[in-house]
Structure 1
Amino acid sequence: MGLVVSHDHKLANRCELEIKDLQDESFILTEKGYTYRAFLFEKLNENTISHTISMELSSVETIKKAVNNHWGIGFLPLFSVEEKVFKTIPLSMIVTLYFSDMINNERKKVPKAPSQLSTEIKTKP
């Protein structure tokens, strides 16, 4: 995950960003319901970072076109962006926390295999 900006955006010369660097930025984001969008908002709110949402779009391609037209910055999976057209900037805190949260949440949701359940039933007094 990372920020997607046009090559002439004020953040384009940065190699990495912190959450505070997003103060007062205008975002072009996916529609509500995407996990990474919710995670970004959680971190922006935790750090009291003011921001605006200029657009909410359903298509990654449309978000990239809007970024290219300088209508704001995007927050997308980095693999979905061509570096020749856009500048992608990882968010140090966001990337690490997002993936560790995803892993922890998945571990909580993983049901036990039937063989584990039967072993537990047999061994409980």
Structure 2
Amino acid sequence: MELRNVKTFIKVAEMNSFSKAGESLGYAQSTVTLQMKQLEEELGVPLFERKGKRISLSQKGHEFLTYANKLVKYEAEAIQSISHMNEPSGELHIGILESLSVSEYINIIKEYMETYPDVSLIVKIATTLELMKMLEKGLLDIIILLDQKVFNSNWEVPFEKEERILFFCSPKHPMSNEHVYLSDLAKEKFILTEKGCNYRQVFEEFLAAQRLTANCLLDIGSTNTIIDYVKNGLGISLLPEFNLKENLKNHTINEILVTDCNILLYTQVIFNKNRWMSPAMKVFLSTISNYFDTLNYA
């Protein structure tokens, strides 16, 4: 089995396209097609499902992808070990949620850039599901999520931290710093993050359990805009505590204490343990480790 063909397979799996994989690797589409045919003949199973011009991995293709990543990982580790190429360099692809990107967690990236200037960081801001799909396909090296605890046999979660999700309002709102029930809260006007956001989804599950719904005036994927609009009395909302610390400290917003709705999620750092860990990736995880140690002792 030629590693060149295995690497091409991984790229096709990432892009769901023979032609796009060929462009990325500098091959003609006919070369990619031939390589995939050779691989399928060697393995004796179809690796792709073909519907017209569209392709996707077959069940056996998904199974082989795990082994393909391991083969490339071991090759890279062998080259690194023999040639002593241990200095962090090249590109590192990081995925992060919008709410995390406007929090203290972004300091990790700043510190990394200052310490390792030879590494080119590419940061993708997207939703949890989008980031998970990109990690699975190999388009991202590391993702940083805020979610319920994530379990995947191919992934490793070296760091996690429990986070509180708070309801908040302007200081002039009658619920400011008050204890209320979810049934009363549901009568208010909400400014919420986009549908599919994890803490919004958990909130809506709490509501559904009591046969309630939220009156959403604005649905927007900008944490800072939500905080600004709530400050100005346009509605109430919920966000991670780490996004609200400064405003709560300055009393430009206040917490609403909801007796029967306690939402806890976890900031999690995740990578695919079957893929090669480059020197750039190793020191990024080391930087995160130091940062999490600082938070734990704060």
Q: If the length of structure 2 is used for normalisation, what is the TM-score?
A: 0.31
Which of 197, 222, 229 is 1:66 aligned to? Answer: 229
Instruction: Provide Cα deviations, 1:50-103, integer angstroms capped at 9, x if missing partner.
Output: 4310001111100011111211101111221121210012434322xx33xx58
Shift of 1:42: 1.1
The one-letter code sitting in structure 2 at the alignment partner of 1:6 is S
Contact 2:177/2:256 (CA < 8 Å) preserved in 1? Answer: no
Is 1:88 the equivalent of 2:88? no
Contact 1:17/1:92 (CA < 8 Å) preserved in 2? Answer: yes
Aligned length: 99
CA change 1:11–1:51 in 2 (3 A) is same
Structure 1 segments (4+ residues) deviating >6 Å: none
SS state of the match for residue 261, structure 2?
helix
Which of 174, 196, 204 is 1:10 aligned to? Answer: 174
SS state of the match for residue 20, structure 1?
helix
For residues 255 and 242 of structure 2, the distance between their equivalents in structure 1, rounded to whole angstroms, comes to 10
Corresponding residue of 2:191:
28
Corresponding residue of 2:290:
none
Contact 1:24/1:49 (CA < 8 Å) preserved in 2? Answer: no
Q: If the length of structure 1 is used for normalisation, what is the TM-score?
A: 0.69
Contact 2:230/2:237 (CA < 8 Å) preserved in 1? Answer: yes
SS state of the match for residue 67, structure 1?
helix
Shift of 1:13: 4.0
Is 1:38 the equivalent of 2:212? no
The one-letter code sitting in structure 1 at the alignment partner of 2:258 is L
Which of 46, 51, 58 is 2:214 aligned to? Answer: 51
Contact 1:29/1:63 (CA < 8 Å) preserved in 2? Answer: yes
The range that moved more, 42-51 or 54-63, is: 42-51
Q: Which runs of 5+ in 1 are unaligned?
A: 107-125
Which of 171, 174, 182 is 1:19 aligned to? Answer: 182
Q: Which runs of 5+ in 2 are unaligned?
A: 1-164, 269-298
User: Which has the bigger relative contact order, CA under 8 A and spacing at least 6?
Assistant: 1
The one-letter code sitting in structure 1 at the alignment partner of 2:182 is I
The one-letter code sitting in structure 1 at the alignment partner of 2:230 is V
Contact 2:177/2:255 (CA < 8 Å) preserved in 1? Answer: no
Higher strand residue share? 2
For residues 64 and 23 of structure 1, the distance between their equivalents in structure 2, rounded to whole angstroms, comes to 19
RMSD (CA atoms): 2.1
